[in-house]
Structure 1
Amino acid sequence: MEGAHVPLKGWQQAAVALGSALGALMDPRRADLIAALGETTGKPAFQRVLQRMKNSSEGKEVLLERPHVVSAQVSHAWDLPESTFGSAYV
């Protein structure tokens, strides 16, 4: 996935955000549009979360370890009830 990031100018980010928002409103099942909207508008929220992680001992540990979520660790999520986060994740 290295090199997959394409830097955008401010007006390009605004265009992607607006197009994604409109597209997601027309079809909320379009997870790709919702993800694009989050990526283009979520930097302030990401910075706040990152700072909170850096300020907590558990957050610092996660940032240092950089654990990977692998199928074997979350395979039980397939058996969770439909209304749970785990079910939505899988």
Structure 2
Amino acid sequence: MATLLRSALRPLRALGGRRGPAADVWLRGARHGAGLLYPGHLPTSPLQKALLAAGSAGMALYNPYRHDMVAVLGETTGYYALKFLRDQMRKDPEGAEILQKRPRISLSTLDLDKLRSLPEGSLGQEYLRFLDVNILLIYS
């Protein structure tokens, strides 16, 4: 996807006037305050994020088994979803307390019997089901 985007925007390279890796795309994310998160990281601009989100969403809807496209969609849109979730939690007294205390959830802090007593379809029940299915991965 990045190669397609780079080749589509290559004619616009002359507008930036710069040469080198950062000049491949004229709206490089570093110009918008995005820093390097890790070695080899290529910051993306809001335009690039929008194009990646739209393309990956379309491909993920077309073929849900394209896990890479689902991951790209999550990477490009997750920031706003997490920010919205945080703001909603801040508005709720219990959510604000959780954000302030920042508790760690581990197998030693969970009351598995209480989770089993929760109604079917609740978050606690689904988390317990997740643990039952994936617990071998934790200890392997």
TM-score (norm 2): 0.41
Gaps of 5+ in 1: none
- The reply on whether 1:46 has 2:87 as its aligned counterpart is no
Question: Residues 35-86 of structure 1, C-alpha deviation per residue, up to 9 Å, x if partnerless?
Answer: 432342355543333222112221111111222333x249889xxx9xx633
Give the aligned partner of residue 37 of structure 1. Answer: 73
Q: 1:10 aligns with which of 42, 46, 51?
A: 46
- C-alpha separation between the residues in 2 aligned to 1:20 and 1:32? 8
- C-alpha separation between the residues in 1 aligned to 2:82 and 2:103? 18
Q: 1:7 to 1:53 in 2, by over 3 A?
A: farther
Give the aligned partner of residue 21 of structure 1. Answer: 57
- C-alpha separation between the residues in 1 aligned to 2:83 and 2:58? 25
Q: Counterpart amino acid of 1:47? A: K
What is the DSSP-based 3-state SS (H/G/I as helix, E as strand, rest coil) of the residue aligned with 1:28?
A: coil
How many residues get paired?
82
- C-alpha separation between the residues in 1 aligned to 2:68 and 2:112? 24
Q: Counterpart amino acid of 2:73? A: L
Rg: which structure is higher?
A: 2
- C-alpha separation between the residues in 1 aligned to 2:112 and 2:43? 35
Computed over aligned residues only, the root mean square deviation of the Cα atoms, in angstroms, reads 3.6
> Please, which moves more after superposition, 15-24 or 42-51?
42-51
Query: Once the two structures are aligned, what percentage of the paired residues are identical?
Result: 34
Gaps of 5+ in 2: 1-36, 135-140
Give the aligned partner of residue 105 of structure 2. Answer: 69
Give the aligned partner of residue 126 of structure 2. Answer: 85
TM-score (norm 1): 0.56
> Please, which moves more after superposition, 11-20 or 44-53?
44-53
